[in-house]
Amino acid sequence: MSEFSETEAWTYTKLGPYFPTWKINKGEIELNEKEDFRIWIQWTTKFSDGATHSAEEQQNLTGVRKESYDSNLVFPWPSTNSPEDVKKRMLLEKAGYEKFEDNKMWIITDHFSRHIYKN
């Protein structure tokens, strides 16, 4: 895997799952449309902090065949019993989304509003 460089073109090895996004409408949380979700991307280059994945806004992706990713998997899945997470799970399930799972422990960090995960 090559070193991080902001001036070089980036290539990716894998798309998905989706990173769901939310909005507040009249005080109620609502699930955004799928087109407004971010997509997790596994890059061939590590970021300076060692992360290899980031959740990118779909409208900012150039040269990525987003239409080739057709899945209803999302990460992160709202997992607490807080009223907000219960509502989010209900909305995701009602819309037909499923929890992305693998055998890794992921850590989500937020670098300048870009969500990055690493194991």
Rounded to an integer, what distance in angstroms lies between the CA atom of residue 82 and that of residue 80? 5
**Which segment, 6-10, 35-39, 74-78, 86-90, is predicted with the most confidence on average?**
86-90
**Within a domain: residue 7?**
no
**Within a domain: residue 4?**
no
> Which whole number is the average pLDDT over 7-19?
80
- Which tens digit of pLDDT belongs to each residue from 19-62? 999 999 999 999 999 989 998 888 888 887 788 888 888 887 77
* Percent of the residues in the chain that have a pLDDT greater than 70, as a whole number: 76
Domain count, the chain: 1
**Within a domain: residue 104?**
yes
Q: Retrieve residue 42's tokens.
A: 């596994």
Strand blocks (E) in 33-100: 38-43, 53-57, 73-74, 98-99
**Within a domain: residue 5?**
no
Residues 58/64/66/72 CA torsion (nearest 10 deg): -80
- What residues make up the domain containing 25? 12-118
**Within a domain: residue 6?**
no
pLDDT value, residue 2: 53
pTM for this model (two decimals): 0.80
**Within a domain: residue 103?**
yes
**Within a domain: residue 64?**
yes
